[in-house]
Amino acid sequence: EVQLVESGGGLVQPGGSLRLSCVVSGFTFSSYAMTWVRQAPGKGLEWVSGISNSGSTFYADSVKGRFTISRDNSKNTLYLQMNSLRVEDTAVYYCARGRKGAVVAVTLDYWGQGTLVTVSS
């Protein structure tokens, strides 16, 4: 069974940092592109960042230069390092798997349950 479990969310002050993790199981992690998607409270989905199975990275303009996506295939874990956090980054952050063979994960066939990040003073 494919599973994705996010962790690392919490309350942080504006300008602060946080690192999210997503531990996966049930598939060969190293073969798939992965992505982070966020959803602000009561709002729609926003594609945040993606990483190919070979480690190429892609970012939405809204987070470029502040967020860094990475992966550790030996630990079956996806990360999102978030720096210079803003109030508008407050959201539930989901990790999701791309379809096999995709370089950029935009067709997302499995999702975690999400972790809430709150940026507030």
Partner 1 sequence: QSALTQPASVSGSPGQSITISCTGTSSDVGGYNYVSWYQQHPGTAPKIMIYDVSSRPSGVSDRFSGSKSGNTASLTISGLQAEDEADYYCSSYTKSNTGVFGTGTKVTVL
DSSP conformation letters of 22-87: EEEESS-GGGS-EEEEEE-TTS-EEEEEEE-TT--EEE-TTTTTTEEEEEEGGGTEEEEEE-S--G
Residue listed under structure tokens 């992690």: 29
The residue within the footprint of partner 1, chosen from 17, 99, 100, 120 (CB under 8 A), is: 99
Q: How far is the CB of 121 from partner 1 (least distance, A)?
A: 27
Beta bridge partners of 34: 51, 97
Contacts of 29 (CB under 8 A, 6+ apart): 71, 73, 76
Q: Is 23 or 106 the residue whose CB approaches partner 1 more closely?
A: 106
Q: Is 19 or 64 the residue whose CB approaches partner 1 more closely?
A: 64
Task: Kindly state the number of chain residues that form the binding site for partner 1, as judged by CB under 8 A.
Answer: 25
Rule CB under 8 A: say whether 11 interacts with partner 1. Answer: no
Rule CB under 8 A: say whether 51 interacts with partner 1. Answer: no
Residue ranges that bind partner 1, judged by CB under 8 A: 35, 37, 44-47, 50, 58-62, 94, 99, 103-109, 111-114
